[in-house]
Amino acid sequence: MKRSFALLLPLAFACGVANAAANAESDRAQIAALEQRWLAAIRSGDRHALDEILAKDFIDIDTNGRMHDRDEAIAHASAPADATQKITQLQVRVHGGAAIANGINTVHSKAQGWTVEVAFTDVFLREGAGWRAVSAQETLRKPLPISSTNH
């Protein structure tokens, strides 16, 4: 009996490791999908979706270094009507019940003739079977072009 237990122990450990890796991959996929949903909610002004995504104690630090609570973030969530946005270089790291997403949001306005890159860090906490954003910070990587009327 001891021998069969000794043989099963490594197998059980390997299954546990494989299961943990599959769970981490599933969590990363959930966070990536949540990032896309968040972007779509901002684009469309979907306050209900933002209410579901952002935790009650959510804090955002914008590209100007100003802090906004959840209510302010939802109230001011908007994008120029003609703007396109695309998330690239998304990296999601999961640490138990917490996840950190880093990426670049490229925003382009054809009508206004500008493109900006916003590096972001979003922090999520697991809530039940899902995730909620608790913190976000954005950094402007490529500033808007200076027009001749701004001199």
Q: Is 59 helix (H, G, I), strand (E, B) or coil?
A: strand
Domain holding 143: CATH number? 3.10.450.50
Token pair for 123:
């922090």
Q: Do 28 and 94 contact (CB within 8 A), yes or no?
A: yes
**What is the domain range of residue 136?**
2-150
Alpha-carbon distance of 123 to 134, in angstroms, equals 6
* pLDDT on residue 151: 46
Strand partners, 86: 106
Successive 10-residue mean pLDDT values, the chain, 151 residues: 54 49 88 97 94 98 96 90 93 97 95 92 95 97 61 46
Number of domains within the chain: 1
Q: What are phi and psi of 23, to 5 degrees?
A: -65, -40
Alpha-helical runs (H) found in 1-151: 2-44, 47-53, 70-75
pTM over 0.75: yes
* pLDDT on residue 4: 57
